[in-house]
């Protein structure tokens, strides 16, 4: 496998995960998790979303969370915004980057934001203007890049058209999202091999959901194509309230463990990340899908059972 020497992880659990929890997570606990993530060396964190509180009530404390986190030098604190009003709020709250989203399929875009793709593009144009004035970076995510739960396959030329329109508006960073875990590694490779040479100046990110246990294989396929920016969610939190069947994002600590086992650097302290996942489980009040929390790292060693140890030959003097 021809894989890069380093990957950059963006943690999305405090937004993509917390937004669909049935109970409101107190602001202080959200802040605690963000601080734990930054202390673990996570370089990018999608902290929250500046949306109308009636739409996503679980994130109605976005300004308060941004105001209370302890900002670690070198960490990029981002927020998802749906429109220029959200972008203004995010800029005023001091985000380092703004994340936006549009779907590759019309049906999902209507279900997700109640707009056509064309209408969303106009909203995103206004967001990018706000960000440009504030000199804040923008990353544009494309939901259902690898399949739509309503329409099925999304033609590659349709995805390319959305990418092209974003690039024409000035996008320099684009995330391809497998919103409901419909992708497979061969498909991911085909999409990346098609798009990356056509848009060589773009910083590409892969955003995966582990709905069908395909997230890490899909990530490895993208990395073989040169993608080095990856989204993950602590404990495997997440889902999409407007995409039937969607489950959590790829588990951050499982992904980091996989990368480290292959010698790929992330700059993240895995032990601290696992401890953060355990704390998130306490806050959420249930076990999460992550496996490393349960099994431990592959370097973990166990003592031999007494019956086996007694049969081992004594060491020679």
Question: Smallest Cα–Cα separation from 11: which of 278, 231, 266, 277?
Answer: 231
Distance (Å) of CA 121 to CA 103, 128, 146, 216, 264: 10, 10, 20, 30, 36
Rg (CA), the chain: 20
Q: Quick one: tokens of 264?
A: 């790929």
d(CA 124, CA 119): 9
Catalytic one among 140, 148, 240, 251? 240
| Angle, in degrees to the nearest 10, between helices 185-198 and 156-168 | 40
CA angle 286, 288, 290 (to 5 degrees): 155
Q: Is residue 240 annotated as a catalytic residue, yes or no? A: yes
Which tokens sit at 293?
A: 């929390």
| DSSP string computed for 52-76 | -TTT-GGGTTHHHHHHHS-PPTTPE
Q: Which amino acids are annotated catalytic? A: 240
């Amino acid at each position: 496998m021809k894989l890069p020497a380093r990957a950059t992880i963006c943690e999305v659990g405090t937004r993509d995960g917390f937004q669909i929890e049935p109970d409101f997570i107190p602001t202080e606990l959200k802040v605690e998790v963000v601080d734990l993530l930054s202390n673990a060396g996570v370089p990018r964190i999608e902290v929250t979303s500046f949306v109308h509180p009636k739409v996503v009530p679980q994130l109605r404390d976005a300004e308060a969370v941004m105001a209370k986190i302890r900002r670690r030098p070198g960490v990029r604190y981002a927020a998802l915004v749906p429109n220029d009003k959200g972008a203004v709020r995010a800029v005023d709250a001091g985000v380092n980057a703004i994340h936006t989203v549009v779907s590759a399929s019309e049906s999902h875009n209507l279900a997700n934001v109640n707009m056509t793709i064309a209408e969303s593009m106009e909203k995103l144009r206004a967001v990018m203007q706000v960000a440009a004035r504030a000199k804040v970076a923008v990353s544009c995510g494309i939901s259902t890049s690898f399949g739509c739960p309503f329409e099925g396959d999304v033609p590659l030329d349709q995805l390319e058209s959305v990418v092209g329109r974003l690039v024409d508006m000035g996008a320099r960073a684009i995330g391809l999202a497998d919103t409901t875990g419909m992708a497979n590694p061969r498909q991911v490779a085909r999409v990346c091999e098609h798009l990356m040479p056509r848009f060589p100046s773009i910083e590409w990110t892969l955003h995966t959901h582990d709905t069908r246990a395909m997230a890490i294989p899909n990530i490895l396929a993208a990395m073989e194509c040169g993608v080095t920016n990856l989204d993950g969610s602590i404990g495997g939190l997440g889902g999409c309230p407007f995409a039937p069947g969607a489950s959590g994002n790829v588990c951050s600590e499982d992904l980091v463990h996989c990368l480290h086992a292959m010698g790929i650097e992330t700059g993240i302290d895995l032990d601290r990340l696992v401890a953060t996942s355990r704390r998130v489980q306490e806050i959420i009040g249930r076990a999460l899908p992550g496996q490393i929390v349960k099994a431990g790292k592959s370097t973990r060693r166990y003592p031999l059972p007494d019956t086996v140890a007694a049969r081992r030959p004594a060491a020679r003097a």
